[in-house]
Structure 1
Amino acid sequence: MKSKILCGAALLALGWNAPALAQERAAGVCYVTGDGEPYEEMLLCYPGDVIIVPGSRAGDVSLGDYTGSATIVAPEQIEQRQIRDIADVLRDVPGVAVSSVAGQTQLRLRGSEANHVLVLVDGIEVSDPFAGEFDIGALQAEIGSRVEVLRGPQSALYGTDSIGGVIAYESGAFSGFGGRIEAGINDTLNGAMRWGMDKGGVRASLSGTIVSTDGEPNARGGTRDIGRDSYTLAGKLAADVTDTLTLRAVARYVLTKGEFNDQDFDPTSPTFGFVVDSPDTRFENEAIYALVGARLKTLDGRWTHDLSVQIADITRDTFGPFGPSNSSEGDRVKASYVSAFRLADEHTLSFAADWERERFRNTTPGGFAFNGRRQIKNTGLVGEYRYDGDRFDLSAALRHDFNDRFADETTFRIGAGYRVTDTTRVRASAGSGIKNPGFFELFGFVDGRFIGNADLQPEKSTSWEIRLDQDLGDAGRLSVTYFNAELEDEIFTTFPAPTFTATPANAATKSKQQGVEVALSASLSPQWSVNAAYSYVDAEENGLAEVRRPESIASAALTWTHPQDKASATLVVRHNGEAVDLAFTDPSFVPVRAVLDDYTLVNLNARVTLAEGINGFGRIENLLDERYEQVFSFVSPGRTAVIGIEARF
């Protein structure tokens, strides 16, 4: 897009500071101070396992002790792959399917729906209360950030929205100044900067990112470039008031502007149902997130109490040739209290209470929809037990939700892990999940185009999995997981005659998901390493494949690093198998099923040290210029290239 913002001062580079508290923890394990809501993430790392921040409401859980399936995308991996949109690195995570169009990027975990994935950003729930899901395309990679992905139902810990799992993004700990700036074809200009400090019991950071491009056409045979500008400003503060009391605050502002194309809904047109160039159509999304909290340690740190309050305020506006076309406002207030008591070195018992209120107002102009404000309230009580032994681990959680609009629900999760040998570990877990209907589904949006259904019931899921982790000496690890899930009361869109107007309903049949996930991480030599993932997902409802869930997804990242770290290069290959989507190409407006062809993307990037603390870098994405569609008739970008510079102080 034409509006560009240049960061005035030199954009500074990556930096990472490990605090002096490391000697309090066991060698071979990375720990994060915190209680399950990432706020004062001080990563204390030695070679070994990595902490799972959202894996327990109680606190520190190492990856080796966790009884479910999780993937950690470390800051080094994000840096090596030169990730700018977090959605891109999630394509390398087993069980994750990503589909993207202008203004909306969706995630599906293990064949679940896009609104079945809970996304936390620095501990804040960021989904849009109207849509019931988060546009992961609006999450840009900050310097030093990392991602944790928990697959399988997590409703016993977090309630609704987490049937498929949880994705937790952490902006990380940072000390000093750092940043980068890059430019490329399609008038692309991306930048990031960050400042951080850790002094006198006070930890603070401030970061900003810019992602801007004029884009490419996304209609078959189209000529209109689809660009976007995305700006993020975020800050974190944590202060140790006493040896036992810590206060913290997190704030984030995100503004995304972009163009999009409409579909042709003229039944007499030869392009009916297809995406076509639509001049002057654009969107603007604005979001404000904040969290404040306090953490108190008692009984020499064995009993912790945490109280937090968070807010999310999201506004979405779309515009057409004649002005505003669709608009919505959504906000969320959530308060949480967590009390965790360590009975002994291996036993932890915790209790959590969550209160949440979501509100929504349809602000679409023209009088075609109800413009009043609606709201939903929920209170959840959680009990959790965890045993972390030398060879055996056990976890169990139970949650009861009190809903003001739906029947109260109870969900559970139980898991166990056993180290068979020093190099082999097996783990198994089972759980249930729930997803309450969203505002869009309950109340509709525009009269005459989508009619809500206030009688909808929550979607319910039960699932189980078994996993094997095999260490490959000191060189790597191979993990294989089988999962099986069943979803009841799935909400789908019907088109009843004679008007064929869209309206949601609960399915009478069950949706079933099963599959296998394989992950490999290995060091081939001191200079070469590889990360690979493969997922097979069989997701069906009433015998038909669920849409936008490829059966096969695979990725591999091969990295070379200079012996003195003066240069590096990474080759990333990603393959998406054939998938099914819905196409509105029938004049009745009842969708028909269309096949999305498989595709393979190849990305190549490199970095070289120019001077102490200063690196030059470049990358080519979609190196082979593959033409593909992630959503029916929306053409994805072709080959792109950028070069840039980063510095660290």
Structure 2
Amino acid sequence: MSENHASSVLTLWLGASLSALSWAEEISYLEKPVVVTASRTNEAAEDTLASVTVITRTDIERQQARSMQDLLHGIAGINIANTGGPGKLTTLLLRGTESDHVLVLVDGIRMGSATSGFSEIQNYPVELIDRIEIVRGPRSSLYGPEAVGGVIQIFTRKGGKKGLKPTLSFGGGSYGTINGSATLSGSSERAWFNLGISGSDTNGFNACKGSFSAGCFTIEPDKDGYRNISGSARAGYRFDNGLDVEASFLHTDGHYEYDGSFQNRTQLAQQVFGGTARYSLFEPWRITLTAGRSNEDSDNFKEKLFTTRYHARRDTISWQNDITITPNQLLTIGTDYLYDRINSSEKFTTTSRYNWGVFAQHQISLAAHKLQLSVRHDDNQQFGSQVTGGASWGYSLTERVRLTAGFGSAFKAPTFNELYFPGFGNPDLKPEDARTVELGAAGRFDWGNWSLNLYETWIDDLISYNAATFTPDNIDKARIQGLEAILNTEIKGWLIQTNLTFLDPQNRSKGANKGNILPRRSKQAFRIDASRQLGDFVVGAMFLAETNRYDDLANNQKLDDYVKVDLRAEYLINPQWRIQGRIENLFDKDYETAAFFNQPGRNFFVTLRYQP
């Protein structure tokens, strides 16, 4: 697959759509999930004006995913860069923006490191996740800094049916890998809870094939293993007066080995806990108060010799008021407080800062039209006032087809590393500013649903590494154009989900790099996932193709395009027990998503599940 094949990929996607129209039978699997991330209010996913993907617990188990990388790789608008296999640093780039331009929430609480600016998703335990909401496009007017490319919210598992319900899973496979998990949930008329634990251990493989002058700047041809143990708790209660309270906790400990000249082992602990209270003083007015804290602790070693330690803490408080003006008008007014603090063995000149934000949103439905307007003012301790806004409009062309248009602005404050890291930081950096315009169309039919979204994003003062000064600098502008196409359908019993992305992420700064492709972005990606139940068997496959990308601003380090095929099957032993098997990278494709860092070859994994 190459850039010249763009038209053939589009033809393939349109062909699948036409085939679905011709051959699909009446189906009932298409649910209408409710999402909260797109507008900070409950709404059906099909009614939101944003481009949204929802990954449910059913999707996670059906795809036999073992990591966040498995779940997100190939989803429309997402590029993944992994540095050497399971547990290694994995960053995601949403709609061509930077890895620290994605806001990650866990049960409503901000995650991510104040030092690096991004969230290390490779450690998040998929066995403890209930669902994931992916919102593409700027959301700073609702969430403040970081939400330039979009927002990803992870919800941990919660209580289900009345009574107690345990689940168990255990599996093993290639590279000496073993995984296990257990959960216990329960609920009554007013209360519910879920407790969970999961663990993973793998010998891994050689993470890096670099040299002393490139890649990991060392040669260590050994196996680089990974161990992780995680636990979660989530519970809620509804009082007689209508007060609804909920609390959640997630902790994950990861120990991973890699190749590096300065350090090659890391112990990383991530933790988030928080609570939410919802109450209506009277019927039109609903108050939501959320507070929480996330921590990220990283201890780094060269073999067994300690090198560095980083501790980052984020405290958040949010007060939101949803006021129903009329049945077709909802006004949301609120305020957010964010406090970042770091403590490190490295000497940072500034170690804390706060950000206050106030926001308002007005959602209006009138006949075939829907309008969403939002504005926000942030007061950042270091960078002063920042104002962002958003406007989206939707028009129902028919009962099943809707057109949308939108505009949004966003900003991102520089990270502590970019500002103050000894020998690297630049304290004169300015915040990054972004503007996005978007057009979309979506349809929902008996045979399935589809969506198309076309967008353009401009980023000013983009922070990049300046080779002339050996520091980060506001030297770049970027213009990102993209097209996302999604089709979900069922054909003759086959559940089919397709994602297609066209991306043109250009560096528009002055100088030799003008017109180059921003690093680690593939310009075209196509993913199709299909599964079908045949009696007591369920079979499935995932096809992923990505065109080449570059690993550097100068576009000298090219990473080849690749195609990867995964197969899976499961057998329903009885209503409670099932056994699953998966072959990943069937054709043993050698590929990279970050230069010099290896990816898994052909491998298999088998899982036994108990779920009453």
Q: TM-score, normalised by structure 2?
A: 0.89
Whole-Å separation in 2 of the counterparts to 1:143 and 1:248: 17
**Which range moved further: 172-181 or 204-213?**
172-181
**Aligned residues of 1:314 and 1:329 also touching (Cα < 8 A):** yes
Aligned pair 1:537/2:519, yes or no? no
Matches within 5 A, 1:3-22: none
Specify which of 545, 556, 578 is matched with residue 593 of structure 1. Answer: 556
Residue in 1 aligned with 2:11?
Answer: none
C-alpha displacement of 1:556: 0.4
Residue in 1 aligned with 2:478?
Answer: 511
Specify which of 351, 355, 359 is matched with residue 341 of structure 2. Answer: 359
Residue in 2 aligned with 1:568?
Answer: 538
Residue in 1 aligned with 2:147?
Answer: 162
- Structure 1 residue identity aligned to 2:586: L
Whole-Å separation in 2 of the counterparts to 1:562 and 1:389: 46
- How many residue pairs end up in the alignment? 563
**Aligned residues of 1:128 and 1:314 also touching (Cα < 8 A):** yes
Residue in 2 aligned with 1:458?
Answer: 431
**Which range moved further: 480-489 or 45-54?**
45-54
Residue in 2 aligned with 1:210?
Answer: 199
- Structure 1 residue identity aligned to 2:548: E
Specify which of 99, 113, 123 is matched with residue 98 of structure 2. Answer: 113
Whole-Å separation in 2 of the counterparts to 1:47 and 1:371: 51
Aligned pair 1:578/2:548, yes or no? yes
Matches within 5 A, 1:200-599: 200-220=189-209, 223-262=221-260, 281-300=264-283, 302-321=284-303, 323-363=305-345, 369-370=346-347, 374-389=351-366, 391-445=368-422, 447=423, 450=424, 452-471=425-444, 473-496=445-468, 502-507=470-475, 509-525=476-492, 527-542=493-508, 543-563=515-535, 566-582=536-552, 593-599=556-562
What's the RMSD between the two structures over aligned residues? 1.9
Whole-Å separation in 1 of the counterparts to 2:385 and 2:188: 47
SS of the residue 1:538 aligns to: strand
**Aligned residues of 2:310 and 2:343 also touching (Cα < 8 A):** yes
Change (3 A) 1:479 1:371: closer
Deviation per CA, 1:35-92, whole angstroms, max 9, x where unpaired?
xxxxxxxxxx9954221221122x2111222112111112222111101112221113
SS of the residue 1:142 aligns to: helix
Change (3 A) 1:406 1:561: same
SS of the residue 1:307 aligns to: strand
Whole-Å separation in 1 of the counterparts to 2:126 and 2:462: 33
Change (3 A) 1:61 1:612: closer
Deviation per CA, 1:317-350, whole angstroms, max 9, x where unpaired?
2110361122211101111100111112211001
**Which range moved further: 150-159 or 64-73?**
64-73
C-alpha displacement of 1:423: 2.3
**Aligned residues of 2:157 and 2:234 also touching (Cα < 8 A):** no
Change (3 A) 1:511 1:153: same
Residue in 2 aligned with 1:625?
Answer: 588
**Aligned residues of 1:174 and 1:196 also touching (Cα < 8 A):** yes
SS of the residue 1:78 aligns to: helix
Change (3 A) 1:534 1:47: closer
C-alpha displacement of 1:474: 0.6
Residue in 2 aligned with 1:615?
Answer: 578
**Aligned residues of 2:224 and 2:256 also touching (Cα < 8 A):** yes
Aligned pair 1:136/2:121, yes or no? yes
C-alpha displacement of 1:207: 1.1
- Structure 2 residue identity aligned to 1:212: D
SS of the residue 1:626 aligns to: coil
**Aligned residues of 2:158 and 2:235 also touching (Cα < 8 A):** no
**Which range moved further: 389-398 or 406-415?**
389-398
Whole-Å separation in 1 of the counterparts to 2:29 and 2:556: 51
- Structure 1 residue identity aligned to 2:267: E
Deviation per CA, 1:251-297, whole angstroms, max 9, x where unpaired?
1111010100026xxxxxxxxxxxxxx9x821110122110232111
Residue in 1 aligned with 2:71?
Answer: 89
C-alpha displacement of 1:647: 0.8
Whole-Å separation in 2 of the counterparts to 1:316 and 1:242: 44
C-alpha displacement of 1:459: 0.2
Change (3 A) 1:322 1:229: closer
Share of identical aligned residues, percent? Answer: 24
Whole-Å separation in 1 of the counterparts to 2:366 and 2:157: 29
C-alpha displacement of 1:230: 1.4
SS of the residue 1:55 aligns to: coil
Deviation per CA, 1:342-362, whole angstroms, max 9, x where unpaired?
112211001110111101122
C-alpha displacement of 1:612: 2.9
Deviation per CA, 1:487-532, whole angstroms, max 9, x where unpaired?
0000111133xxx6x211102x42000011111111102x211111
Whole-Å separation in 1 of the counterparts to 2:153 and 2:383: 27
Residue in 2 aligned with 1:182?
Answer: 171
**Aligned residues of 1:244 and 1:298 also touching (Cα < 8 A):** no
Whole-Å separation in 1 of the counterparts to 2:367 and 2:55: 26
- Structure 2 residue identity aligned to 1:339: N
- Structure 2 residue identity aligned to 1:239: Y
**Aligned residues of 1:331 and 1:359 also touching (Cα < 8 A):** yes
- Structure 1 residue identity aligned to 2:274: L
Whole-Å separation in 2 of the counterparts to 1:522 and 1:629: 31
* Structure 1: runs of 5 or more not aligned: 1-44, 264-277, 364-368, 584-590
- Structure 1 residue identity aligned to 2:489: A
SS of the residue 2:600 aligns to: coil
Deviation per CA, 1:522-558, whole angstroms, max 9, x where unpaired?
1102x21111111011001121110000101110001
Change (3 A) 1:95 1:166: same
Deviation per CA, 1:199-255, whole angstroms, max 9, x where unpaired?
141111111121221111123396411110111101011111233212221111110
Change (3 A) 1:371 1:430: closer
Q: TM-score, normalised by structure 1?
A: 0.84
Whole-Å separation in 2 of the counterparts to 1:107 and 1:206: 29
